[in-house]
DNA sequence: TTTTCCATGGGGGTTATCCCCTATCGTCAG
DNA sequence: CTGACGATAGGGGATAACCCCCATGGAAAA
C-alpha cells in the first residue's frame, strides 16, 4: 500500500480529538481529512468525505459507536473502523466483535498501543487493546450470555419496564394483550434470574438500554 | 505570583494525560512534577510530592475524584484542584461545589476553556467549563434539592428499594414495622416525584447510592 | 416432516406496591 | 411554650406485580 490513507476522527472529548489529530499528522501514509464531536455530525461528514479509516469514540452525545457504524457500514463497506473507549464495556465489546469492526483500544491504554492500533487497522489488520483482549476472555459467559437468550420482544419489554412503564401501558404501546406482556415479563425475568422491577432496571441500565435520567 | 507552580496530573486515560503533560510543559510558571493513572497511585504520589495544583479526572479506576480529594484535603489544604470529566454528572458537580473545589471542566470543552481553567485555578481563581455552568443553573432545584429534602431514614430506604429489597425485608433489617416502611416509601416517592420502583432505582443509581451490579 | 421456538392469549391465585387517612412520641427551633 | 418535623404504627382499599398452569398458530431449524 503506497497511497495515503484518509483518516476521519469522531470524538467528543476535545482533548483527545486534538491529540489524535496532532499525533496522526506526523504519521507518514496517513492524512486526517476531518473530525466530528458528535454522532450526527460524524455520520454526515463521513458520508461526504468517504475516509479509508474511521477512528470512532465509543460514546458520543446522541449516538454511540455502534449506531454510527450501522448508519454508514452499507454506504462505505471498505472503510476500516477503530473504536476508542474510556470504558471497557462488555456489552459494547461484544457488539463490536459481532459487527466485524477492526479494532478497539481503551483510552487508558499506553500511547504505544493506541498508535499500534491505528497503524494495524490502517494496514488492514485487526487490533484490540490489552484490557479489551482480557475482557473478551473473561466475559465470555455471564450476563451477556443471558442477554443473548432474550428474544427481541423480551429485550423491548425489559427496556420499557426499566423506563417505568406498567404492564398495561406496555400492552397498549405494543398493541398486544396485558396477559402476553405478563408472560413475556415472567419469561424474561426467569432467563435473567431477576426477581423484581428494581433488578430489571439495574440490568437495563448496565446494558445501556436505558439511562438513569429517563422521563417521569 | 512569581514562583513556579507545581502541577500533578491524575488521569487514567493515557491520551489525555500525555496531552496535558505536553501542553502544560510549554506553559511558563507551571511545572508538571508527576502523574498517576488511578486513584490510589494518585493519593500516594500527591502526599509525597505535595503539588500546588492538582488536575484530577472525575472517574478513575478504584476511586472517584471526590474520594481522592477527601483523602488529601486535610493534608494539603492549600492545594488547588481542577476536576476534568468526560460526563457532566449532576450529582458529582454538586458534591464538587460543596467541597469547595476550585474548578471543573468537561472534556468536551474547547481546548481554550481547558487552558483557561488551568491558568485561572493555578492563579487562585475559580473556573467552571461552559457545560458545567449550564448544568449548575439547570440543575439547581431539581433532583439534587429533592435529595436534600430526604431524611436519613428515607435515603436509607431509597437505597434498599433500589437493591431489590421488599418492604418486608426492609422492615426486618431496620427492625421497624412493615407499615412504617410503607409510609417512608410513600413519603420519599412523593418528595422525589417518583411513581414506581423502576424510577426509584434509576434515581438511586444516578445518585451513586447503588451500583447496577448489585446482588440478586 | 417433525420438533423446537416465539409470540400470542388466558385462568387463577398470592403478594407487593401504591395511595388515601389518622395518630403518638420525642426533639429541636422559634 | 408551642409548633414543626421526623420516626414510629396502623386502617382500608385499588391496582400492579409475580408465579404457577395451559393452549394455539406460525416460522425456523433439525
pLDDT tens, per residue, chain B with 216 residues:
457 888 999 998 888 888 888 888 888 888 899 999 888 888 889 888 999 889 999 888 767 787 788 778 766 767 888 888 887 776 677 667 656 677 888 888 888 888 888 887 887 767 778 787 777 655 444 555 566 678 888 988 998 999 899 999 999 988 999 999 999 999 999 888 888 999 999 888 877 677 666 444
Q: How many CB pairs under 8 A join A and B?
A: 117
Quick one: closest CA in A to B197, which residue?
Answer: A198
Find the Å distance, CA of residue B112 to C1' of nucleotide D30: 64
Strand partners, A103: A82, A127
Coil, helix or strand for B211? coil
Listed in sequence order, the residues at least 6 apart from A6 whose beta carbon sits closer than 8 Å to its beta carbon are A31, A33, A49, A50, A51, A52, A53
**Virtual CA dihedral for A100, A106, B85, A207, nearest 10 degrees?**
50
Complete DSSP assignment for A132-191: HHHHHHHHSSHHHHHHHHS-HHHHHHHHHHHTT--HHHHHHHHTS-HHHHHHHHHHHHHH
Coil, helix or strand for B30? strand
Listed in sequence order, the residues at least 6 apart from A86 whose beta carbon sits closer than 8 Å to its beta carbon are A58, A59, A106, A107, A108, B13, B86
Whether residues A198 and B108 touch (CB distance < 8 A) is answered with no
Over chain A, what is the mean pLDDT?
81
For position A14, what pLDDT does the model report? 87
CB A36, CB A45: distance < 8 Å:
yes
**pLDDT interval class at A132 (50, 70, 90):** confident
Phi, psi of B80 (to 5 degrees): -95, 150
Helix B130-139 with B90-99: angle, nearest 10 deg = 90
CA A104 to mean position of chain CA atoms: 10
Partner residue opposite A198 with nearest CB, options B19, B161, B206:
B161
Q: Which residues have Cβ atoms closer than 7 angstroms to strand D?
A: A 166-168, 182-183, 185-186, 189-190, 195-197, 200; B 149, 151-154, 174, 176-180, 182-184, 196
Find the Å distance, CA of residue A198 to C1' of nucleotide C30: 42
Q: How far is it, in rounded angstroms, from Cα A35 to Cα B188?
A: 46
CA distance A91 to chain B (A): 14
Distances (CA, A) of B57 to A31, A86, B97, B103, B107: 31, 12, 16, 12, 10
Phi, psi of B65 (to 5 degrees): -60, -40
Residues of chain A whose beta carbon is less than 8 angstroms from a beta carbon of chain B are: 12-16, 18-20, 37, 61, 86, 107-111, 114, 161-164, 166, 194-203, 205-206, 210-214, 216
Residues in chain B: 216
For position A137, what pLDDT does the model report? 56
CB B15, CB A113: distance < 8 Å:
no
Using a CB-CB cut-off of 8 Å, the residues of chain A touching B198 are 161-164, 197-198, 200-201
Coil, helix or strand for B103? strand
Helix (H) or strand (E) segment spanning residue A25: helix A14-25
CB A80, CB A121: distance < 8 Å:
yes
At B56-112, the pLDDT tens digits run 998 887 677 877 887 787 667 678 888 888 877 766 776 676 566 778 888 888 888
Cell of residue B85, nine digits: 470529566
CB B118, CB B21: distance < 8 Å:
no
A142 or B96, higher pLDDT: B96
Whether residues A109 and B19 touch (CB distance < 8 A) is answered with no
Strand D positions within 7 A of protein Cβ atoms: 5-12, 16-23
CA distance B160 to chain A (A): 10
> How many other C-beta atoms are found inside a 10 Å radius of the C-beta of residue A72?
18
Backbone Cα Rg of chain A? 20
**pLDDT interval class at A28 (50, 70, 90):** confident
Cell of residue B102, nine digits: 476550585
Distances (CA, A) of B120 to A138, B114, B128: 44, 10, 10
Amino acid at each position: 500500500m503506497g497511497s495515503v490513507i484518509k483518516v476521519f476522527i469522531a470524538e467528543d472529548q476535545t482533548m483527545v480529538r486534538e491529540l489524535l489529530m496532532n499525533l496522526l499528522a506526523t504519521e507518514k501514509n496517513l492524512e486526517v481529512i476531518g473530525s466530528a464531536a458528535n454522532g450526527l455530525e460524524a455520520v454526515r461528514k463521513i458520508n461526504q468525505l468517504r475516509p479509508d479509516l474511521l477512528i470512532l469514540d465509543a460514546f458520543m452525545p446522541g449516538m454511540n459507536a455502534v449506531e454510527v457504524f450501522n448508519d454508514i457500514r452499507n454506504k462505505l463497506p471498505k472503510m476500516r473502523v477503530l473504536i476508542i473507549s474510556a470504558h471497557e464495556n462488555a456489552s459494547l465489546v461484544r457488539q463490536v466483535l459481532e459487527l466485524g469492526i477492526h479494532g478497539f483500544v481503551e483510552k487508558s491504554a499506553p500511547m504505544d498501543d493506541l498508535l499500534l492500533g491505528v497503524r494495524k487497522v490502517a494496514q488492514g489488520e485487526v487490533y484490540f487493546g490489552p484490557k479489551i483482549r482480557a475482557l473478551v476472555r473473561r466475559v465470555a459467559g455471564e450476563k451477556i450470555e443471558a442477554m443473548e437468550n432474550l428474544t427481541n420482544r423480551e429485550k423491548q419489554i425489559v427496556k420499557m419496564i426499566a423506563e417505568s412503564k406498567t404492564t398495561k401501558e406496555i400492552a397498549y404501546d405494543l398493541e398486544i394483550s396485558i396477559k402476553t406482556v405478563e408472560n413475556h415479563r415472567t419469561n424474561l425475568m426467569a432467563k435473567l434470574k431477576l426477581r423484581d422491577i428494581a433488578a430489571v432496571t439495574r440490568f437495563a441500565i448496565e446494558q445501556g438500554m436505558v439511562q438513569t435520567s429517563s422521563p417521569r
